[in-house]
Chain A
Amino acid sequence: KAGVTQTPRYLIKTRGQQVTLSCSPISGHRSVSWYQQTPGQGLQFLFEYFSETQRNKGNFPGRFSGRQFSNSRSEMNVSTLELGDSALYLCASTLGGSNTEAFFGQGTRLTVV
């Protein structure tokens, strides 16, 4: 079966702009989580959606938001981009149970200039 698909793979944006990233989970998976990965901080949890509802949110400012559609596809949005938002953004899908493995997409490499 198809894996987790993230688009676009690469993005370059200017400070102050906003960006939308997309994630299509594995078919049948209803939980989608987003993570930010930087060399200094590693993988940090942004938020998790299940059946179109945000169930949990990490410690990120309100500029970071997301949503999930009825087909489980998810988007995350970052507004008023800052240089420090440059990172690899990873999406992970799971069936939803806490003891299940997460399948990661290839990520979107965002560069803010």
Chain B
Amino acid sequence: GQNIDQPTEMTATEGAIVQINCTYQTSGFNGLFWYQQHAGEAPTFLSYNVLDGLEEKGRFSSFLSRSKGYSYLLLKELQMKDSASYLCAFGNSGAGSYQLTFGKGTKLSVIP
């Protein structure tokens, strides 16, 4: 079957570093996505990993281990505006289609 897990909530201090973990199980895998969603807004793309390793994009980095079914999103130099839900999702293209399977999201609260 398909499954994806991430912590429900996390709290971190402004200026600190936080790591949000995601584990998944799937038979068809075409990459791991991270999205950010502020309350009442649409999810916006943060990163995509298809090969093992670390992808860095400014203050945000994402890591993937396909053999372990594991990914994490690393946020550095936290700012108050980073308070949002972070959604982990894997892509699969069964039957040639495009489908994302999402975790339930991690609500990150950044405190002063």
Q: Which residues of A contact B (CB under 8 A)?
A: 4, 31, 33, 35, 41-45, 48, 50, 55-56, 58, 90, 92, 94, 96-107
Contacts and interface: CB of A to CB of B under 8 A. Distances in A.
Top 9 A-B pairs, shortest CB-CB distance: A55-B97, A56-B97, A98-B93, A42-B104, A43-B102, A104-B42, A98-B30, A101-B45, A104-B43
Contacts of B96: 55
Contacts of B44: 104
A105 B98 contact: no
A55 B91 contact: no
27 contacts: A35-B102, A42-B87, A43-B87, A43-B89, A45-B99, A45-B100, A48-B97, A48-B98, A50-B97, A56-B95, A56-B98, A58-B99, A90-B42, A90-B43, A92-B100, A96-B98, A98-B30, A98-B98, A99-B48, A99-B91, A101-B33, A102-B33, A102-B45, A103-B45, A104-B35, A104-B42, A104-B44
A50 B43 contact: no
Given A33-B99, A92-B100, 6 more contacts: A42-B104, A98-B92, A98-B93, A100-B98, A104-B42, A105-B42
A35 B100 CA distance: 9
Given A42-B105, A99-B31, A33 B42 contact: no
Contacts of A105: 42
A106 B96 CA distance: 26
A106 B31 contact: no
With most chain B CB atoms within 10 A of its CB, the pick from A56, A90, A97 is: A56
Interface string B76-88: 0000000000010
Nearest to B89: A43
Contacts of B104: 41-42
A87 B51 CA distance: 34
A58 B100 CA distance: 11
A44 B48 CA distance: 19
